[in-house]
Amino acid sequence: MPATGGVFVYSQSQQILLPKRSKTNLYTNLGTSLSAEGLDDEAAENYEQALAHYREKIDRLEYVEAQQEVTTIAAQAAFFLGMVYQDLHRPNDAAEAYSLAHSLDPRHWSAAANLGALLHDNMANHAKALQAYNLAYDILTNREEEPTDPPLEPRFILSQLQYRIGLCITHDSTQKCANVDNPGTPIDCQEFAAHAFALAVEYDEDNESAKHMLATVTADATMKRASNTYIKSLFDDYASNFEHSLVQDLGYTGYERLRRGFDQALEQDGKSGLVMFATVVDAGCGTGLVGEQFRNVSQHLTGVDLSQAILDEAVKARPNLYDKVIVGDVTTVFRERQPISLIIAADSYTYFGDLEPLFEAMQVGLETGGYAAFTLEDVDEATEAALEATKPDWRWQLTASGRFAHRKGYVQLTAKKYGLKLIHYEQLVNFRYERGVGVRGHLFVLRQSADHREEL
């Protein structure tokens, strides 16, 4: 699962230029000015010069106070250099700069926090990221020593740090954590992750991402869908790399398989040849992967997503694909844009656990005889066997990925309840990969069997 990206200090506009008359400070100030103008290469050179001058002169300073003063400036230069290196897409150099900043100033919480974000988001080194996040958290919560440049609202930073600590812990669901009570017997890490996500929510009750992940690791059956805030935040951060990550890194094929399955469904439903649909809604459209598959059967194609950023990517990547794009909740759009001839949704209904509100909205929006074609996730075989043995009437399961998996029988019963007839079903084996392991899924094609809108 992607993180709420970026760094913990987003801009150098807040920097205070210290009036020290040393070359270390002069180069640091000049680097800051150049960085503010977007001249990152030149800024990096000046920060490097500041650090070189510091290394050359520090041993020659006679007074401890003077050494501390210049070392503090050098730590800031190293920190700013790390930020510039990140902007220049030099992650290894940025990591070294942040590490240097912290070694020069052990109370520099933001150097540790930014190092964690860099290791987590850009370098996939989750173990070292965890160490850096914990270090930043310890600095900010230590009441005996004041952190360098403490944040004005530390609770929001502490919430984000704990959220990211939880993400690092849950990155590998197979790893074990140390057992304090019995050091020789490692235990599942989920308890530690749950504690981190719970702390994140305690610090900031509006941290929707932390709430969602807390429900994930605690298998909270009361959570019926991911919040819109969580989904929007997830895909806003993921937008620029979404399609490459989904198709290239995760081997996703659901969008292609959905079109093939839909064509089979129409044949089974007695329709041959190319059937055109007057009004098609691509629900949770992302960058338009599935919309592109259905464009040739759509007279009017609308793309709907909660994330404006990802809709911008869709328009940029496929400028002529959609006749209209809408930022909004798909259940609202279904109700407002009726009658709809066809609803398509590839891997977007996985953020709903309870399908009843979704299917009820589809029932309202679809015209009589209209179709809905979508994919859902299924649990893995081991989890399925365990659920069938202990809870054979299970409906949905919140998975470690933060998405919901659904039982086929539950989908069928819910569809029938809302007048949606199942006309085609396929199991989807390995339609995406998570950490190298194939994900199981389902493909459903439903048809609105009667016009229930007059009854509602």
How much is the average pLDDT of 324-349?
A: 95
Residue 185 pLDDT greater than 80, yes or no: no
Residue where a domain terminates, one of 119, 150, 181: 150
Range ranked top by mean pLDDT from 13-17, 205-209, 214-218, 422-426: 422-426
The owner of tokens 């989920």 is 190
Please report whether residue 85 resides in a domain: yes
Residue 226 lies in a domain: no
Task: Write the CATH number for 92.
Answer: 1.25.40.10
Question: CATH no. for residue 356?
Answer: 3.40.50.150
Q: Are residues 276 and 378 in the same domain?
A: yes
Sequence-distant (≥ 6) Cβ neighbours of residue 145 within 8 angstroms: 107
Higher pLDDT pick, 239 / 408: 408
pLDDT tens digits, 130-174: 999 999 999 999 988 999 988 888 999 999 999 999 999 888 766
Show which of 106, 123, 150 is a domain's final residue: 150
Predicted pLDDT of residue 40: 82
33 within domain boundaries = yes
Q: What integer best gives the mean pLDDT of the chain? A: 85
The more confident residue out of 193 and 118 is: 118
User: Does 317 share its domain with 429?
Assistant: yes
Higher-confidence position of 292 and 38: 292
> CA torsion, points 153, 154, 156, 162, in degrees to nearest 10?
180
Same domain, 422 and 304: yes
Res. 447: pLDDT tops 90: yes
Query: What's the pLDDT at 1?
Result: 32
Asked if the model's pLDDT at residue 89 lies above 80, the reply is yes
Is 436 a domain residue?
yes
Q: Is the pLDDT of residue 353 over 80?
A: yes
Judge whether 201 lies within some domain: no
Let me know whether 298 and 443 are in one domain. yes
The reply to whether 144 and 250 lie within a common domain is no
Which residue would you say has higher pLDDT here, 34 or 345?
345
Q: Output the pLDDT for position 155.
A: 93
111 and 244 in a common domain: no
Tell whether 189 is covered by a domain.
Answer: no
Cα gap 396→2, rounded to integer Å:
22
Residues 6+ away with beta carbon under 8 Å from 304: 281, 282, 283, 284, 285, 325, 326, 327, 328, 330, 333
Q: What is the pLDDT of residue 35?
A: 78
**Whether residue 57 has pLDDT greater than 80:** no
Query: Please, are residues 149 and 140 in contact by the beta-carbon 8 Å criterion?
Result: no
pLDDT at res. 7: 53
The yes-or-no verdict on residue 61 having pLDDT over 70 is: no
- Fill in the DSSP letter of residue 306: S
Q: Report the pLDDT value the prediction gives residue 364, as an integer from 0 to 100.
A: 95
Q: What is the mean pLDDT of residues 312-338?
A: 94
Indicate whether 98 pLDDT > 90.
yes
Q: Which residue has the higher pLDDT, 37 or 423?
A: 423
The token duo for 358 is 């979704």
- Coil, strand, or helix at residue 380? coil
Domain that holds residue 255: 236-455
Q: Are the C-beta atoms of residues 375 and 431 closer than 8 Å to each other?
A: yes
CA distances from 56 to 30, 64, 198, 358 (A): 19, 16, 47, 66
Q: How many domains does the chain have?
A: 2
- For residues 123-133, average pLDDT: 92
- 248 shares a domain with 135: no
Position 220 scores a pLDDT of 62
Q: Residue 398: which pLDDT band, with cuts at 50, 70 and 90?
A: confident
Same domain, 285 and 428: yes
> What was the pLDDT predicted at 4?
37
Residue 18 located in a structural domain: no
User: In this model, does residue 455 exceed pLDDT 70?
Assistant: no
Res 3: pLDDT? 35
pLDDT digits (tens, 9 = 90+) for 297-307: 999 999 999 99
Same domain, 247 and 135: no
Q: Which of 134, 150, 166 is the last residue of a domain?
A: 150
> Is the per-residue pLDDT at 456 higher than 90?
no
Whether residue 299 sits in one domain with residue 448: yes
Whether 272 and 388 share a structural domain: yes
Domain membership of residue 317 (yes or no) is yes
